[in-house]
Homo-oligomer: A and B are copies of this chain.
């Protein structure tokens, strides 16, 4: 195999690598759970090499990476660039990893002013795909452990806000007094009544979120509500809360772009519909990060040799 570029999205809990031809088409891919903690122990170079060797990628094929691999606890720290920032400028500010291979890490984006201190790593690369390939401007939602809402202006990130939605869901589900009420529940069904009720609760009274959470326990104690219904309502309340903040800060959520995948995409698309948002475009998060990495690789390394 002779790819033009290799691109890698290396996060806190997962590793994804694609070998691309000069047009950005996928020749091969590798996935693993070798996130930051696991890779730090084995050594980042060892982990990356094992995947490149498994695919038979020659030593002179350049590698473009993004995500938490560029954080303080990653391989090499890639500093945060300050928002507001033109996204095209990201590619001129990559960090070179000391290695016998050509390896670059894209910078994250930090916000010191505007709507409060904030940081992103990896999402800026997904945005690079959006401005390059899916039109410009408007509000972009990238839901997850730490959901990002980004206001684009032309080809720039004008400002952004992170919400601790997914992490709160995890903590409450596993380590709080709600845990017994949602134990062993299957994945949340976006079409369930519980999810819709949770979203409606949060949209109507975001200030009562602390009470909506405790009510899940009380409803289980008093009324024996089933675990799947309680978990759906918990998810709905937190996703609903995730919409009310940006709605207050950035105005209407209609015509927003949702960059997400799988279950998360379905939950947020449903919640946005319940919130009355129209014309929400949904883009696949993995496609976006791969395309953003390709845009960066092309800009930094050029077309590469013919496949």
Contact = CB atoms under 8 A, between A and B. Distances in A.
Contacts of A171: 171-172, 175-176
A115 B80 CA distance: 46
A190 interface: no
A151 to B, nearest CB: 13
Interface string A187-223: 0000000000000000001111111111101110111
Interface in A124-173: 146-147, 161-165, 167-168, 171-172
Contact of A211 (B177, B207, B245): B245
A214 B248 contact: no
A244 interface: yes
Given A171-B171, A207-B206, A146 B177 contact: yes
A203 to B, nearest CB: 9
Contacts of A222: 80, 110, 112, 117, 119
A42 interface: no
Given A171-B175, A205-B248, A163 B219 contact: no
A223 B111 CA distance: 11
A140 to B, nearest CB: 16
B209 A209 contact: yes
Contact of A244 (B72, B112, B172, B207): B207
A29 interface: no
A116 interface: yes
Contact of A245 (B110, B210, B221, B238): B210
Interface of A is mostly: helix
B214 A164 contact: yes
A210 B165 contact: yes
A137 B215 CA distance: 24
Contacts of A111: 218
A183 to B, nearest CB: 15
A290 to B, nearest CB: 26
A239 to B, nearest CB: 11
A152 to B, nearest CB: 18
Interface in A225-273: 238, 241-242, 244-245, 247-249
A78 to B, nearest CB: 13
A147 B209 CA distance: 13
A119 B161 CA distance: 35
Interface of A: 72, 80, 110-112, 115-119, 146-147, 161-165, 167-168, 171-172, 175-177, 205-215, 217-219, 221-223, 238, 241-242, 244-245, 247-249
28 contacts: A80-B221, A110-B221, A111-B218, A112-B223, A115-B211, A116-B218, A117-B215, A117-B223, A119-B218, A119-B221, A119-B222, A161-B208, A162-B211, A163-B210, A163-B211, A164-B211, A164-B214, A165-B210, A167-B176, A168-B210, A175-B175, A205-B245, A206-B207, A208-B245, A208-B249, A209-B209, A210-B241, A210-B242
